[in-house]
Amino acid sequence: DAGVTQSPTHLIKTRGQQVTLRCSPKSGHDTVSWYQQALGQGPQFIFQYYEEEERQRGNFPDRFSGHQFPNYSSELNVNALLLGDSALYLCASINIRSRSGMNTEAFFGQGTRLTVV
């Protein structure tokens, strides 16, 4: 089981550009959440996707958008990049249908380090 995989691992973009980050959830998981982690801070919840729709959203502008595919993989898109978007972007997955008793945990990927210059 490969767990949660994210690509690319590192990325450098120029201010104003657009970026797409990718996430493949752990086998058997159907729900993906994205987090942004600035240096020295805890991860901040961006949004969650289930059944190919955005279900929950944190306090992020609509420059941040996402998509979930029928195979449950997901993309995070950020438009009009700002220097402040430089961060580690984390993806987490869970099988939402198995959490009726909350007896499960989310698995995180290793993240994509985005640097905006």
Partner 1 sequence: DAKTTQPTSMDCAEGRAANLPCNHSTISGNEYVYWYRQIHSQGPQYIIHGLKNNETNEMASLIITEDRKSSTLILPHATLRDTAVYYCIVTNTGNQFYFGTGTSLTVIP
Give the C-alpha separation, 103 to 89, whole Å.
26
Stretch that binds partner 1, among 11-19, 42-50, 61-69, 72-80 (CB under 8 A): 42-50
If binding is defined by CB under 8 A, does position 70 make contact with partner 1?
A: no
If binding is defined by CB under 8 A, does position 78 make contact with partner 1?
A: no
Dihedral sign, CA of 113, 55, 30, 108? Answer: positive
If binding is defined by CB under 8 A, does position 41 make contact with partner 1?
A: yes
If binding is defined by CB under 8 A, does position 107 make contact with partner 1?
A: yes
What does the block give as tokens for 66? Answer: 């996402």
Contacting residues toward partner 1, per CB under 8 A: 4, 31, 33, 35, 37, 41-45, 48, 56, 88, 90, 92-94, 96, 99, 102, 104-111, 113
